[in-house]
């Protein structure tokens, strides 16, 4: 084992350093000259709260309510640095004067933009790592509830996928590709607090179920966000060590500032709609399609339920479930207010917000209330304290899946077209799915522990054929799937600055959220309106109207931090040293409870209390984690020309065995600002030019907790003791060991190199950044697939695989003004070359929909290649003479109209090897690369212009060089009789009369296995989208001054106006939605207003 520093030694070292720092003589600084002045904007209006500092000294002051300041400077040669948010920072030489009027130009110079880099902030020109950031101006343009979506298309290297039109769902955020097989979620840090969420990265399965359907980040109101920074490379992200391998997203909220109180008000209201629909067969087309499918396979007996349905229903009307499920003109509204201000000593900000957003599909909405406050106060010139508190409350409804299955656009489209939705004669008003009759249960004995049901199902008649669908509308009527989520988030800190430049800061942060999903369901919905009718009498001794379930899911996160920061300027040497110790404990825990004996007619009175505890159930779950980190960062620059940053972080995680727990993550970066050199002074065209490069290592600890231990599962049960009239016996709890323990499990390490160039030219009008990155993730925690004959239940997790992502990022922006007309053009593009470097035993893993293989892009599509359609029986027979297709379902019924699959490979010499030589056999060896799911490039494009009070911005976003398997289409064009409806594209199917087609014939049970995973359903999933257009009008300053206002702007905005894509589904991003539910991104028209006093 490697020898690392131990915490004890680090503690000693830190203590020593502080003591040393405390004893350092404060350099006697003589302040001989007092400069007074005023800071104004170009119109002469006073700027309140502008910062005035002496260059080279760490502290400054802010202007008062008249824009005035008074500052002591060392001598007449001092240079003042004057800055104000939204204005270009200026350096003003004092030049011996004692009174100055300083005018700041509106608009930020990108170099002076302050970038939050984690444990501090820096001006853009001093950044050495790869950090992208956006400010509140861009964030404002995003109309989504989720703050992540504000990043969409805005930053190079950051890909944010639209999670569909549901307001509750979570976008997928991927920074510079996909680096691991498991959790690829970046680390989110909100106001310095690394946040956690139980089951993060998990969308499906039990974990995803317990995590719930609502994005926890929606509890943060985007209106409260000042900026979002993304730390992309190791040298930037290394300060977050073991959690930073997937990148870090820093969300910084709005603060108070010196000056008279100000009020910002924002309101917007919009309407959302889904644009596209699946074109489905009508009832008569559907009926004849099925008959054709059976006629084409004489070996297949007509499904009797289907026969009956066709005979009875072939002349029925066509019912459009898809249309009925749309929530047309779904409203989205958002209102927020913020009051902020402060004196030179104390600044505050208080905000509140309310939004209500409906999904463009029925049964899904989100209502959010947020409150936030922060106060920072300088108690004396060496002591500062602050508190930041935030509270969010969400009420959400998510019935996009009912009765355990999705009820989205896809599901509704596929309902057999003859199945009606409503039935006025039904007591519940809906058309039932099944006719269910009951009989008495002779074995019913209420005196037994297991009394059985008083009545049993006698017969079930599915009314609309074998694929009678559950009536989701009736389900929604009889159920309530709601969430109440409460999030509490706070940090308090104390900072001492005993001598100038030396700061000690201690902070304590807590993030606690409680999610309380509930599910109420009347049992009749599960009997008459379900495609798998249950027995309502089996519930609660036959005395119950339905079931009630409740969960209480808690996320708790406690962070204690202590840091020492020392900044010093000695001549041209600028030092900034940071030492930090962090201790974090976070857990995810909760209870699940249910009661199946509810007798009140009104659901409001349902709950967990029941008269008989046999019918209540409870359970708990828990996951605890702890992290410790020690971090040191040394930043140095010489005269703003030569920069070096060195960071070392040592982290320990409770997820791993004690001897594999701690790791060290080093990084460094260097930068050279060429434009600071003498020889560049004559190059007028270039205003600023910086070269930078960095290297570093990061960790990813996101894997199953305690995977190094083999936990005992007490889930399997078995019953003994039945007989003599007792068919049930007594259930006995058993145990097993489902895991394959891996003691030496540790985190994944990603090693990143980054080279970049930043250029500002043409009178600051052109800014350009180019970067090259290469990230090798090593020791990926891979759930190694072992042969089934090993008998392990859960695959072992081993640090084994590696993946490399490399590529380029470019971003450029042109900003200019022609008189009253201002305009800007900006864009960014990112390329990704993703390649798996090694896997366990270098063996490929994963199936056809997501194959992981050395040398290929991660999760690529793997399957068979098609080679047209057999035009005639003779053509098939000829082919069959030389080919043996092992994947067919029924060799007797293959023929004309079926797909010919390509024979590409054959078996090699050794067992399990294949060679690229056809062997006349179509078998699993013939599966090949069909496409990749990691986009090769993605980009964003911004156009902006303003003229007098008008402003217009147009924003495009796109993804390219990416493929996806269209599972929805494969279902809707399956061409075998299964009772689910088909898209109208199948009308072009092969028939003896229609042979010039690529759509195979309709044939029951698919004898040729035309539906096997093949290139037939692999499509280009790239797109180019007109994401947002916004037109605004602001009142001129003179008018505002008259009205005593700071800001008045009205705007109209349109989102998702146009999408150019080859994707044949409803939307190229539909595949990103939760559990594969298809809720396409909505087209939104919005009207909004921003007012500031």
Instruction: Examine residue 856 and tell whether it contacts other proteins (CB under 8 A).
Output: no
Residue corresponding to tokens 């970038």:
115
CB 417 within 8 A of CB 469: no
Instruction: Examine residue 20 and tell whether it contacts other proteins (CB under 8 A).
Output: no
Cα distances (Å, whole numbers) of residue 954 to 434, 449, 486, 827, 828: 52, 68, 36, 12, 14
Instruction: Examine residue 709 and tell whether it contacts other proteins (CB under 8 A).
Output: yes
- Binding-site size for other proteins (CB under 8 A) equals 128
* From 640-648, 727-735, 828-836, 1056-1064, span contacting other proteins (CB under 8 A): 727-735
Pairing mode of beta strands 766-783, 748-761 = antiparallel
Instruction: Examine residue 506 and tell whether it contacts other proteins (CB under 8 A).
Output: yes
Which listed residue (72, 583, 875, 951) binds other proteins by CB under 8 A?
583
Residues 976-995 that bind other proteins (CB under 8 A): 979
CB 781 within 8 A of CB 180: yes
State how far the Cα of 650 lies from the Cα of 854, in Å rounded to an integer: 31
CB of 267 to other proteins, least distance (A): 44
Residues 997-1026 that bind other proteins (CB under 8 A): 1005, 1007
Instruction: Examine residue 1075 and tell whether it contacts other proteins (CB under 8 A).
Output: no
CB 386 within 8 A of CB 379: no
Residue corresponding to tokens 């489902």:
738
Between CA 143 and CA 151, with CA 149 as vertex, the angle to 5 degrees is: 115
CB of 384 to other proteins, least distance (A): 13
Cα distances (Å, whole numbers) of residue 131 to 115, 195, 752: 8, 20, 14
Q: Where in 599-653 does DSSP place strands (E)?
A: 616-638, 642-653
CB of 21 to other proteins, least distance (A): 9
Which listed residue (44, 429, 727, 855) binds other proteins by CB under 8 A?
727
* From 144-152, 611-619, 989-997, 1018-1026, span contacting other proteins (CB under 8 A): 611-619
Q: Which is nearer to other proteins, 668 or 708 (CB)?
A: 708
Half-sphere exposure of 452 (CA within 13 A, CB side): 14
* From 333-341, 343-351, 613-621, 763-771, span contacting other proteins (CB under 8 A): 613-621
Q: Which is nearer to other proteins, 369 or 562 (CB)?
A: 562
x/- letters, 793..832, toward other proteins (CB under 8 A) = x--x-x----------------------------------
Spell out the alpha helix ranges (H) of 128-192.
Answer: 136-141
Instruction: Examine residue 893 and tell whether it contacts other proteins (CB under 8 A).
Output: yes
Contact partners, residue 425, CB within 8 Å, separation at least 6: none
Instruction: Examine residue 181 and tell whether it contacts other proteins (CB under 8 A).
Output: no
State how far the Cα of 1066 lies from the Cα of 274, in Å rounded to an integer: 9
Pairing mode of beta strands 821-831, 405-406 = unpaired
Which listed residue (375, 492, 496, 954) binds other proteins by CB under 8 A?
496
Instruction: Decide: residue 571, CB within 10 A, 0-12 exposed, 13-18 middle, 19+ buried.
Output: exposed
Residues 904-933 that bind other proteins (CB under 8 A): 910-913, 923-924
Instruction: Examine residue 538 and tell whether it contacts other proteins (CB under 8 A).
Output: yes
State how far the Cα of 993 lies from the Cα of 1077, in Å rounded to an integer: 37
x/- letters, 421..460, toward other proteins (CB under 8 A) = -------------x--------x------x-xx--xx-xx
Residues 543-572 that bind other proteins (CB under 8 A): 560, 562
Instruction: Examine residue 790 and tell whether it contacts other proteins (CB under 8 A).
Output: yes
* From 411-419, 605-613, 709-717, 768-776, span contacting other proteins (CB under 8 A): 709-717
* From 242-250, 302-310, 421-429, 854-862, span contacting other proteins (CB under 8 A): 302-310
Which listed residue (288, 792, 985, 1064) binds other proteins by CB under 8 A?
792
State how far the Cα of 393 lies from the Cα of 817, in Å rounded to an integer: 44
Instruction: Examine residue 9 and tell whether it contacts other proteins (CB under 8 A).
Output: no
CB of 210 to other proteins, least distance (A): 11
Q: Which is nearer to other proteins, 393 or 967 (CB)?
A: 967
x/- letters, 1030..1059, toward other proteins (CB under 8 A) = ------------------------------
Residue corresponding to tokens 């930037």:
236
CB 444 within 8 A of CB 454: yes
x/- letters, 241..270, toward other proteins (CB under 8 A) = ------------------------------
Which listed residue (70, 715, 878, 994) binds other proteins by CB under 8 A?
715
CB of 523 to other proteins, least distance (A): 12
What tokens were used for 873? 């029986």
Pairing mode of beta strands 187-190, 248-253 = parallel
Q: Which is nearer to other proteins, 76 or 443 (CB)?
A: 443
State how far the Cα of 138 lies from the Cα of 344, in Å rounded to an integer: 29
Instruction: Examine residue 883 and tell whether it contacts other proteins (CB under 8 A).
Output: no
Which listed residue (66, 599, 613, 617) binds other proteins by CB under 8 A?
617
In 3D space, the residue among 588, 587, 478, 480 whose CA is nearest the CA of residue 525 turns out to be 478
Cα-flanking dihedrals φ and ψ of residue 633, to 5°? Answer: -135, 130
What tokens were used for 1059? 């999408």
CB of 1018 to other proteins, least distance (A): 19
Instruction: Examine residue 107 and tell whether it contacts other proteins (CB under 8 A).
Output: no
* From 54-62, 386-394, 883-891, 950-958, span contacting other proteins (CB under 8 A): 883-891
Residue corresponding to tokens 């109420």:
520
Residues 633-652 that bind other proteins (CB under 8 A): 652
| Sequential DSSP letters for 62-122 | E--TTSEEEEEESSTT-EEEEE-TTB--EEEE-TT-SEEEEE--BS--TTT-EEE-SSSEE
Which listed residue (622, 817, 987, 1062) binds other proteins by CB under 8 A?
622
CB of 461 to other proteins, least distance (A): 7
Instruction: Examine residue 25 and tell whether it contacts other proteins (CB under 8 A).
Output: no
Instruction: Examine residue 204 and tell whether it contacts other proteins (CB under 8 A).
Output: no
Which listed residue (34, 461, 613, 917) binds other proteins by CB under 8 A?
461
- The rounded Cα 466 to chain-centroid distance in angstroms is 38
CB 156 within 8 A of CB 132: yes
CB of 192 to other proteins, least distance (A): 16
Residues 372-411 that bind other proteins (CB under 8 A): 382, 404
CB 856 within 8 A of CB 846: no
CB 478 within 8 A of CB 209: no
Which listed residue (619, 868, 992, 1036) binds other proteins by CB under 8 A?
619
State how far the Cα of 314 lies from the Cα of 406, in Å rounded to an integer: 27
Q: Which is nearer to other proteins, 307 or 765 (CB)?
A: 307
Contact partners, residue 176, CB within 8 Å, separation at least 6: 157, 232, 247, 773, 775, 805, 807, 830, 832
| Sequential DSSP letters for 931-954 | E-SS-SEEEEEEEEEEETTEEEEE
CB 908 within 8 A of CB 914: yes
Which listed residue (533, 549, 935, 940) binds other proteins by CB under 8 A?
533
State how far the Cα of 174 lies from the Cα of 185, in Å rounded to an integer: 7
CB of 71 to other proteins, least distance (A): 23
Cα-flanking dihedrals φ and ψ of residue 27, to 5°? Answer: -65, 125
CB of 941 to other proteins, least distance (A): 44
CB 1024 within 8 A of CB 956: yes
Q: Which is nearer to other proteins, 54 or 453 (CB)?
A: 453
Q: Which is nearer to other proteins, 449 or 882 (CB)?
A: 449
Which listed residue (263, 305, 686, 1057) binds other proteins by CB under 8 A?
305
């Amino acid at each position: 084992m490697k020898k690392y520093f131990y915490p004890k030694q680090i503690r000693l070292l830190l203590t020593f350093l502080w003591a040393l720092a405390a004893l350092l003589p404060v350099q006697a600084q003589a302040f001989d000259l007092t400069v007074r002045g005023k800071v104004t904007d170009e119109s002469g209006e006073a700027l309140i709260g502008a910062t005035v500092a002496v260059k080279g000294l760490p502290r400054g002051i802010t202007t008062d309510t008249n824009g005035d300041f008074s500052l002591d400077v060392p001598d007449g040669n001092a240079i003042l640095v004057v800055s104000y948010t939204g204005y270009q920072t200026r350096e003003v030489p004092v030049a011996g004067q004692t009174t100055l009027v300083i005018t700041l130009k509106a608009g930020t110079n990108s170099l002076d933009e302050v970038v939050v880099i984690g444990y501090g902030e820096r001006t853009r020109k001093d950044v050495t790592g790869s950090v992208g950031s956006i400010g509140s101006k861009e964030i404002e343009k995003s109309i989504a509830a989720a703050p992540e979506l504000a990043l969409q298309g805005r930053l190079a290297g950051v890909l944010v996928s639209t999670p569909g039109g549901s307001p509750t769902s979570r976008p997928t955020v991927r920074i510079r590709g996909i680096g691991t097989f498991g959790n690829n979620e970046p680390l989110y840090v909100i106001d310095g607090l690394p946040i956690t969420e139980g089951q993060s990265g998990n969308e499906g399965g039990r974990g995803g179920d317990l995590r719930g359907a609502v994005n926890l980040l929606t509890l943060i109101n985007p209106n409260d966000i000042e900026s979002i920074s993304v730390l992309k490379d190791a040298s930037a992200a290394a300060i977050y060590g073991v959690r930073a391998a997937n990148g870090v997203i820093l969300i910084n909220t709005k603060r108070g500032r010196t000056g008279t109180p100000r009020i910002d008000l924002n309101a917007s209201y919009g309407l959302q709609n889904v644009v596209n629909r699946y074109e489905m067969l009508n009832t008569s087309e559907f009926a004849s399609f099925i008959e054709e499918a059976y006629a084409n396979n004489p070996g297949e007996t007509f499904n009797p339920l289907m026969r009956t349905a066709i005979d009875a229903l072939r002349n029925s009307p066509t019912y459009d479930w898809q249309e009925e499920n749309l929530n047309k003109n779904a409203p989205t509204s958002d209102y927020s207010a913020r009051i902020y201000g402060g004196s030179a000593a104390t600044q505050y900000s208080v905000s509140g917000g309310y939004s209500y957003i409906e999904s463009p599909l029925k049964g899904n909405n989100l209502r959010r209330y947020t409150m936030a406050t922060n106060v920072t106060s300088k108690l004396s010139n060496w002591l500062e304290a602050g508190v930041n508190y935030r509270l969010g409350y969400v009420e959400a409804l998510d019935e996009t899946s009912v009765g355990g299955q999705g009820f989205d656009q896809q599901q509704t489209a596929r309902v057999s077209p003859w199945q009606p939705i409503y039935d006025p004669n039904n007591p519940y008003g809906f058309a039932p799915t099944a006719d269910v009759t009951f009989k008495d249960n002779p074995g019913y004995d209420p005196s037994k522990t297991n009394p059985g049901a008083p009545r049993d199902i006698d017969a079930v008649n599915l009314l609309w054929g074998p694929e009678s669908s559950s009536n989701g509308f009736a389900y929604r009527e009889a159920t309530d799937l709601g969430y109440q989520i409460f999030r509490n988030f706070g940090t308090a800190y104390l900072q001492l600055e005993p001598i100038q430049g030396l700061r000690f800061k201690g902070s304590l942060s807590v993030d606690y959220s409680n999610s309380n999903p509930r599910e109420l369901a009347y049992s009749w919905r599960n009997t008459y309106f379900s495609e798998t009718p249950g027995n309502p009498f089996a519930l609660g001794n036959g005395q119950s109207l339905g079931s009630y379930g409740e969960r209480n899911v808690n996320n708790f996160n406690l962070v204690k931090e202590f840091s020492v920061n020392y900044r010093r300027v000695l001549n041209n040497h600028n030092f900034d040293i940071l030492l930090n110790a962090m201790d974090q404990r976070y857990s995810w825990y909760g209870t699940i409870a249910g009661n199946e004996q509810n007798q009140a007619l009104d659901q409001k009175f349902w709950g967990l209390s029941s008269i008989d505890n046999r019918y209540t159930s409870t359970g708990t779950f828990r996951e605890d984690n702890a992290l410790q980190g020690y971090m040191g960062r040394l930043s140095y620059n010489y005269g703003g020309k030569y920069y070096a940053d060195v960071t070392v972080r040592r982290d320990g995680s409770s997820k791993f065995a004690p001897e594999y727990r701690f790791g060290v993550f080093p990084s460094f970066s260097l930068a050279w600002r060429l434009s600071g050199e003498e020889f560049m002074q004559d190059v007028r065209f270039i205003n600023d030019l910086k070269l930078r490069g960095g290297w570093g290592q990061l960790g990813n600890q996101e894997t199953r907790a305690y995977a190094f231990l083999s936990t005992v599962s007490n889930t399997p049960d078995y019953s003994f003791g039945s007989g003599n009239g007792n068919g049930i016996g007594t259930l006995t709890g058993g145990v097993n060991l489902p895991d394959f323990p891996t003691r030496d499990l540790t985190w994944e390490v990603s090693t990143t190199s980054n080279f970049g160039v930043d250029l500002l030219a043409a009178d600051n009008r052109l800014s350009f950044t180019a970067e090259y990155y290469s990230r090798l993730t090593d020791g990926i925690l891979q759930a190694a697939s072992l042969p089934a004959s090993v008998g392990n239940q859960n695959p072992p997790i081993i640090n084994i695989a590696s993946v490399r992502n490399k590529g380029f990022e470019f971003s450029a922006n042109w900003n200019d003004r022609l008189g009253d007309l201002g305009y800007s053009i900006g864009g960014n593009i990112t390329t990704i070359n993703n390649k798996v470097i090694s896997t366990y035993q270098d063996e490929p893993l994963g199936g056809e929909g997501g194959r992981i293989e050395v040398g290929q892009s991660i999760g690529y599509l793997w399957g068979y290649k098609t080679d047209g359609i057999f035009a005639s029986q003779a053509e098939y027979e000829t082919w069959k003479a030389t080919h043996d297709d092992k994947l067919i379902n029924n060799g007797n019924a293959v023929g004309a109209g079926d797909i010919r699959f390509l024979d590409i490979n054959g078996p090699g010499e050794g067992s399990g090897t294949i060679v690229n030589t056809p062997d006349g056999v179509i078998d699993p060896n013939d599966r090949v690369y069909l496409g990749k799911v990691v986009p090769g490039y993605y980009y964003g494009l911004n156009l902006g212009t303003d003229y007098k009070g008008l402003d217009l911005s147009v924003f495009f976003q796109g993804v390219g060089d990416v493929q996806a398997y269209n599972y929805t289409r494969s279902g809707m064009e399956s061409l075998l009789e299964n009772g689910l409806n088909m898209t109208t594209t199948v009308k072009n199917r092969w028939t003896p009369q229609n042979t010039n087609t690529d759509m195979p014939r309709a044939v029951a049970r698919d004898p040729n296995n035309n539906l096997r995973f093949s290139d037939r359903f692999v499509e280009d999933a790239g797109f180019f989208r007109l994401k947002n257009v916004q037109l605004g009008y602001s009142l001129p300053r003179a008018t505002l001054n008259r009205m005593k206002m700071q800001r008045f702007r009205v705007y109209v905005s349109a989102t998702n106006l146009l999408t150019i894509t080859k994707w044949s589904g409803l939307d190229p991003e539909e595949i990103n939605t939760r559990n594969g539910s298809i809720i396409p991104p909505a087209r939104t028209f919005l009207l909004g207003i921003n007012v500031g006093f």
